[in-house]
């Protein structure tokens, strides 16, 4: 008889369910399968009503973030063999409302991400005829680590401050703001400071570091936030000593 493994999956259909509940499924066990493969097997063969997000199956798009045995993980990067002989419990990411089954409502994150202006704001405008905005390999290396974020939201599910204060801007958005603040071509640091250096921004972070531990791309948002705290403190001190000098 072929080996199997059991998944306990949180189900919630708001139109019919008063509260979420768990449903058990038994799927074939294969060494090369990840949790996403098991979910796709359930969807295709056992229960077409199961809802979840996924796209690339390559740990690139960030769509398939879930809570797997109490840990925020990408389901396309979490192998069944790591749970062989046990039960795999699959839930939506913590700290977000549930839209349906394993699908979360991401609106709050999208608003926070937009608020930090996560895009290049050129230091100077120049015509296309003047050429590209060039930078050296060393200047690229300064911020390249923080470009790897795939917005999977695992860091938000792991962050205790998000659980305590829903207004906290959060790790991914603050790390992306830091990415642009470090870019030699960017001049938008002051424009981002109103949100980034606010009480709901970097100062809400207590440096637990869970966000960096769960990041599948080794972005290290905890380090980005602490570095931004230093920069903001220096700006504050300069402004106190010589108002407007750091502009």
Using an 8 Å Cβ cutoff, are 67 and 21 in contact? Answer: no
Please give the tally of structural domains in the chain. Answer: 2
* Rounded average pLDDT over 26-43: 98
pLDDT at 139 over 80: yes
Q: What is the CATH number of the domain that holds 170?
A: 1.10.1060.10
Statement: residue 247 has pLDDT above 60: no
**Domain assignment present for 247:** no
DSSP 136-198: -HHHHHHHGGGGG-----HHHHH-HHHHH-TT---HHHHHHHHHHHT-TTB--HHHHHHHHTS
What pTM, to 2 d.p., does this model score? Answer: 0.92
Same domain, 165 and 220: yes
Are 83 and 171 members of one domain? no
| pLDDT one-digit tens code per residue, 212-230 | 999 999 999 999 999 999 9
pLDDT band, residue 158 (cuts 50/70/90): very high
Share of the chain above pLDDT 70, in %: 98
Is 134 strand, coil or helix?
coil
| Residue range 61-72, pLDDT digits in tens | 999 999 999 999
**Domain check: are 88 and 112 in the same one?**
no
What residue numbers bound the domain in which 229 lies? 107-241
Closest CA to 38 of 52, 22, 21, 17: 52
Q: Are residues 186 and 139 in the same domain?
A: yes
Q: Are 82 and 189 contained in the same domain?
A: no
**Do residues 76 and 23 share a domain?**
yes
Q: Same domain, yes or no, for 83 and 113?
A: no
- Domain end, chosen from 57, 74, 104, is at 104
Please, are residues 105 and 25 in contact by the beta-carbon 8 Å criterion?
no
Interhelix angle 221-241/189-196, rounded to 10 degrees, is 110
Residue finishing a domain among 53, 79, 104: 104
Q: Answer yes or no: are the C-beta atoms of 150 and 60 closer than 8 Å.
A: yes
Please, where are the H alpha helices in the chain? 35-41, 107-115, 137-143, 154-158, 160-164, 171-181, 189-196, 210-214, 221-241
């Amino acid at each position: 008889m072929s080996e199997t493994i059991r998944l306990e999956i949180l189900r919630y259909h708001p139109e019919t369910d008063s509260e979420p509940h768990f449903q058990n499924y038994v799927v074939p066990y294969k060494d090369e399968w990840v949790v996403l493969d098991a979910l796709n097997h359930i969807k295709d063969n056992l229960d077409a009503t199961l809802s979840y997000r996924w796209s690339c199956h390559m740990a690139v798009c960030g769509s398939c973030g879930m809570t797997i045995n109490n840990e925020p993980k990408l389901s396309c990067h979490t192998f069944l063999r790591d749970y062989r002989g046990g039960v795999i419990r699959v839930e939506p990411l913590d700290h977000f409302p549930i839209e349906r089954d394993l699908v979360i409502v991401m609106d709050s994150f999208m608003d926070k991400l937009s608020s930090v202006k996560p895009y290049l704001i050129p230091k100077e405008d120049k015509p296309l005829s003047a050429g590209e905005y060039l930078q050296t390999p060393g200047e690229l290396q300064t911020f390249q680590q923080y470009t790897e974020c795939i917005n999977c939201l695992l860091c938000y599910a792991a962050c205790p401050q998000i659980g305590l204060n829903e207004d906290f801007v959060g790790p991914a958005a603050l790390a992306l703001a830091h990415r642009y603040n470090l870019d030699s071509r960017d001049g938008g640091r002051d424009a981002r400071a109103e949100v980034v250096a606010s009480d709901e921004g970097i100062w809400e972070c207590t440096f637990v570091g869970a966000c960096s531990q769960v990041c599948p791309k080794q972005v290290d948002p905890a380090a980005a936030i602490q570095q931004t705290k230093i920069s903001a403190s220096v700006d504050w001190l300069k402004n106190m000593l010589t108002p407007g000098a750091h502009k």
